[in-house]
Amino acid sequence: MDDFLKHFRSKQLEKSQETLLPTQCPYCSVQCSMTLIEEAFMTTKQYKAKPNKEDTTSGGRMCIKGANAHQHVYHKERITSPLLKIDGEFVPISWELAIEYIAERFHSIQTHDGNDAIGVYGGGSLTNEEAYLLGKFARVALKTKHIDYNGRFCMSAAAAASNAAFGLDRGLTNSLNDIPHTNVIILAGTNIADCQPTIVPYFRQAKKNGAYIIVIDPRETATTKLADLHLKVKPGTDSVLATGLLKAIKQEGYIDHAFINSRTTGFEHLDTHLDSFTLDDVSSITGVPTKDIIEAGRQYGAAKEGFIFTARGVEQHANGSDTVKQFINLVLATGKIGRHASGFGSITGQGNGQGGREHGQKADQLPGYRSIENDLDRKIISSIWDIDEKNLPRKGVSAYEMIEKMMDEDITALFIMGSNPIVSNPNAILVKKAIQKLKFLVVVDMFISETAELADLILPSSSYLEDEGTMTNLEGKVTLRKGERPPPKDVKHDWEILCLLAKALNKENGFEFTSPKQIFDELRLASRGSKADYFGISYERLSHEALAWPCPHQEHSGTPRLFETRFAHSDGKAIFSPLVMLHSCEAPPEYPLLLTTGRVMAHYLTGVQTRRSPDLFKKSPEPLVEMHPETAARYHIQHDELIHLYSTQGSVVMRACLTDKIRKDTLFAPFHWGGSQAINRLVAPFLDPVCHMPAFKLTYAGMKPITGEIDSQDSGGLIYETVDQGSS
């Protein structure tokens, strides 16, 4: 019998077929390239992801999300045909009927309510081609000014600050390859070990080479383990801390006056205010000891080369753009930019958060980082799109402000592509109410997300394994992602959907694309001569190498390092920002705790995909709210106990996780879950006045243990319910 089984298995192996699917991870901004190996044994299939050792960004590394990304692609809950809601139930219909129905409803709504009554809501995971085409579709086919995307909640604060200081916004000013050679690194509000784990080796190598690492975070994380100095800042006071670091740098004599005089403006005005406060004042507000502020300033100021990296921890605040400006002031005051191993970076979150905002998904931007309010930019793009410039809409409003317009019934229909705003927006309870008021909602997605559940019509879209196109990673490198796996029979690519809809809306001219390469070639033309110039980048070149923009012509090798000789302002100089006023963040008595939100390694964004990957779901099956044991004791809360969290906006149910690795006044909860476990139900809609970033990282909250039985509605249906993950 044993010999028979061995013979049978050997015959199985002989008959097995191996298919190689080169691709890129669909999740974070590193965009690690890999090959998915599909092995077919008779009627069964097995999958294994193998990292690309030639990847110049990831270095052949891959995290748990990338290794399991394929699992959601093969999940049985994936939508494989258009779904129309009839009497509260989704019914499969043909593409012809779906497209005809959308065109008819859009035409009727715009006839009655005006062109701007339709909103378009995009996502930071769309390819450059699809982000570009979505912006063109909104403004040309629909003629609406109302388009924005979930990248507003990712990079807008850093983008506003970089544009103000440098005249240009790109995630990192330098290649990651510069990091191991630097002398000091400040990581402000970024937990790269969980969020971008495949770039951690760059920082480990820097530390091995002698670099001093400073991490600013209210929690102890896997990233703070790298730190020589951990500044455990009070949430909401990062701008004050950055101001204190600048004062310490000045006191220690590390201001680079030669650089300031030759390459910047505005330092004199800022300098006069540094004597208006003491470092003890900074310490009392931020909770960071004065001696640590001095040490951090000394280490960064004295170093020959240095980097500062920010991320959502300091950016997702109602003053996020000002906070980033304060960290950029440190860079400019010490002259640590525009050269090898020195620079600034905001670590992009979403897979194509960079490209998405460069090419037209933001309310105020046209392709190539052009401004929709600039007359010359409008003429250039109108010419390329073959429309009259007067018919090109002006700027709309930010993502959350679109929600407010739905609540006010100024926007009465919404087209969503690749986003889940009911979970990702602040004030999530109101967001759901606003979306329910719409006359018509279309959602393009792979799954029935929390938002798609409310749709009148859902259109199935292709996955990262199937959808060819370019992505722009955190370094500003443009990469070409192959789409080698054929999509399911009735599933279409996002760009195909937009072209079909444009034709149905009698706007076929300008949407006759038959491949993503054709769209990219038009994008290249639209970006030519702009700040984000892709003109010299082509599919042919990208098949051999990734290229960092700007890349103005085919012989150009790209720009791994920005600002070596000049900044992007017209005079070539960077601009210092005024100091922010010192202010404390004192919670009101009824909401005494400081709630901050973030990610866990196993999940991504609202979890629509990762919660359908069995191995990722097993790793992290539910959200946990972290709190200090002494804080828990004050509220009579036990470890692993279900609790109510609440704020002025609403409440959620989560399980308590006691840890001494967090400040006693602070709570931390992840945002990857929906229902009544959606932490953004608690977040108030306070927006940065410049970039309209919501204040995700600071919510005044309270909590209490739950008494009595909890039903599935209270628990969000995820704690007790067994989720069938399907096969992979």
Predicted confidence (pLDDT) per residue in 310-333, tens digit: 999 999 999 999 999 999 999 999
Residue 565 pLDDT exceeds 90:
yes
DSSP-derived 3-state class of residue 229: strand
pLDDT attached to residue 619: 94
Residue 717 is encoded by which pair of tokens? Answer: 């249906």
Alpha-carbon span 481 to 192, nearest angstrom: 23
Q: What is the mean pLDDT of residues 196-225?
A: 97
Helix (H), strand (E) at residue 96: helix 95-113
Helix (H), strand (E) at residue 24: strand 17-24
Residue 463 is encoded by which pair of tokens? Answer: 């996955």
Q: Give the residue ranges of DSSP H helices in 475-613.
A: 494-504, 516-527, 539-542
Could you read off the pLDDT of 641-676 as tens digits, one per residue? 999 999 999 999 999 999 999 999 999 999 999 999
Residue 11 pLDDT exceeds 70:
no
* Cis before 550 (ω within 30): yes
Closest CA to 609 of 52, 48, 34, 66: 66
**Packed helices 290-302 and 320-334: angle between N→C axes, nearest 10 degrees:** 50
Residue 3 pLDDT exceeds 70:
no
pLDDT attached to residue 351: 87
Q: Cβ distance 691 to 401 under 8 Å?
A: no
pLDDT-above-90 percentage for the chain = 90
What's this model's pTM, rounded to 2 decimal places?
0.93
If phi over 0 gives left and psi between -120 and 50 gives alpha, with beta otherwise, what is residue 529?
Answer: left
Residue 563 is encoded by which pair of tokens? Answer: 């600002």
Number of CB atoms found within 10 A of residue 592's CB:
16
Q: What Å distances lie between residue 71 and 317, 466, 605, CA to CA?
A: 34, 14, 17
Confidence of residue 12 (pLDDT cuts 50, 70, 90): low
DSSP-derived 3-state class of residue 553: coil
pLDDT-above-70 percentage for the chain = 95
Helix (H), strand (E) at residue 34: strand 33-41
DSSP-derived 3-state class of residue 330: helix
Q: Which residue has the tokens 């401004």?
A: 371
Alpha-carbon span 658 to 633, nearest angstrom: 10
Residue 510 pLDDT exceeds 70:
yes
The whole-angstrom distance between residue 39's C-alpha and the CA centroid of its chain comes to: 33
Q: Cβ distance 62 to 32 under 8 Å?
A: yes
Closest CA to 134 of 511, 390, 608: 511
- Residue 548 has φ and ψ, to the nearest 5°, of -90, 130
Q: Cβ distance 442 to 416 under 8 Å?
A: yes
Residue 313 is encoded by which pair of tokens? Answer: 């921890």
pLDDT attached to residue 357: 87
Confidence of residue 530 (pLDDT cuts 50, 70, 90): very high
705 by Cβ neighbours in 10 Å (0-12 / 13-18 / 19+) ranks as middle
Closest CA to 359 of 26, 134, 691, 27: 134
pLDDT attached to residue 713: 38
Q: Which residue has the tokens 């199937």?
A: 466
Alpha-carbon span 695 to 245, nearest angstrom: 23
Confidence of residue 126 (pLDDT cuts 50, 70, 90): very high
CA angle, 287 then 290 then 295, to 5°: 120
Q: What is the mean pLDDT of residues 279-307?
A: 98
Alpha-carbon span 447 to 370, nearest angstrom: 34
pLDDT attached to residue 717: 33
Could you read off the pLDDT of 47-95 as tens digits, one per residue? 999 999 999 999 999 999 999 999 999 999 999 999 999 999 999 999 9
Ranking 53-62, 239-248, 351-360, 580-589 by mean pLDDT, the lowest is 580-589
The whole-angstrom distance between residue 252's C-alpha and the CA centroid of its chain comes to: 37
**What is the β-pairing status of strands 699-705 and 642-646?**
antiparallel
Query: Amino acid identity of 236?
Result: G
Q: What is the mean pLDDT of residues 461-489?
A: 97
Strand stretches in 589-684, DSSP E: 593-598, 624-627, 642-646, 651-658, 666-670
pLDDT attached to residue 712: 38
Residue 279 is encoded by which pair of tokens? Answer: 């470092």
**CB-based contacts of 199: which residues, under 8 Å, 6+ apart?**
30, 57, 58, 176, 192, 474
Alpha-carbon span 117 to 106, nearest angstrom: 9
If phi over 0 gives left and psi between -120 and 50 gives alpha, with beta otherwise, what is residue 266?
Answer: left
| Helix %, strand %, coil % of the chain (to 5) | 35, 20, 45
Alpha-carbon span 533 to 559, nearest angstrom: 11
Alpha-carbon span 721 to 427, nearest angstrom: 26
334 by Cβ neighbours in 10 Å (0-12 / 13-18 / 19+) ranks as buried
Residue 220 pLDDT exceeds 70:
yes
DSSP label of 718: S
Alpha-carbon span 535 to 529, nearest angstrom: 8
Closest CA to 233 of 164, 175, 288: 288
pLDDT attached to residue 120: 98
Burial state string for 289-298 with b = 16 or more CB within 10 A and e = fewer than 16? ebebbbbbbb
Average pLDDT along the chain: 93
Could you read off the pLDDT of 413-472 as tens digits, one per residue? 999 999 999 999 999 999 999 999 999 999 999 999 999 999 999 999 999 999 999 999
- Residue 539 has φ and ψ, to the nearest 5°, of -60, -35
Confidence of residue 587 (pLDDT cuts 50, 70, 90): confident
The whole-angstrom distance between residue 74's C-alpha and the CA centroid of its chain comes to: 24
DSSP label of 530: S
pLDDT attached to residue 296: 98
Could you read off the pLDDT of 163-185 as tens digits, one per residue? 999 999 999 999 999 999 999 99
pLDDT attached to residue 10: 56
**What is the β-pairing status of strands 44-51 and 33-41?**
antiparallel
Q: Cβ distance 324 to 158 under 8 Å?
A: yes
- Label each residue of 563-597 as H, E or C: CCCCCCCCCCCEECCCCCCCCCCCCCCCCCEEEEE
**CB-based contacts of 186: which residues, under 8 Å, 6+ apart?**
214, 215, 216, 296, 300, 306, 307, 308, 309, 327, 330
CA angle, 572 then 577 then 581, to 5°: 175
Dihedral sign for Cα 220, 224, 228, 229, please.
negative
DSSP string, 681-704: GS----B-TTT--B-TT-EEEEEE
Q: Which residue has the tokens 């390694």?
A: 601
pLDDT attached to residue 29: 94
pLDDT attached to residue 544: 94
Q: Which residue has the tokens 């604060």?
A: 157
End-to-end CA distance of the chain: 31
**What is the β-pairing status of strands 477-481 and 469-472?**
antiparallel
Confidence of residue 715 (pLDDT cuts 50, 70, 90): very low
